[in-house]
Amino acid sequence: MANKPFCTVPFVEAFSGDRAAFRNCCATDPAIYSLPGQTFSEWQQDPRLVKFRENMYLNQWLAECENCRIQEQQSGHSFRTTVNSQTTIDDKFGVWPSRWNLIFGNVCNLGCWTCDEHSSSVIAQHKKTINILPVDFVDPNDEFESQWKSLEQDVITSYNHHSIVTLTLLGGEPLYNKTVNNFLSRLQELGLASRTRLEFHTNATKINKKLFSKDTWNYICIFLSLDAVGKKAEWLRY
DSSP letter for each residue of 117-146: TTT-HHHHHHHHHTT-S-TT---HHHHHHH
Q: What is the pTM of this model?
A: 0.92
pLDDT in the model for residue 225: 86
pLDDT in the model for residue 46: 97
pLDDT tens digits along 12-32 = 999 997 677 899 999 999 999
Contact 127, 133 (CB under 8 A): yes
pLDDT in the model for residue 87: 93
Q: Starting from the edge strand earliest in sequence, which strands make up the sheet with 22-23, in order?
A: 22-23, 13-16, 99-103, 165-170, 196-202, 219-224
pLDDT in the model for residue 2: 43
Whether pLDDT at 236 is above 80: yes
Fill in the amino acid letter for 40. Answer: F
Q: Which residue in 190, 165, 192, 168 sits closest to 180, CA to CA?
A: 168
pLDDT tens digits along 143-172 = 899 889 999 999 999 999 999 999 999 989
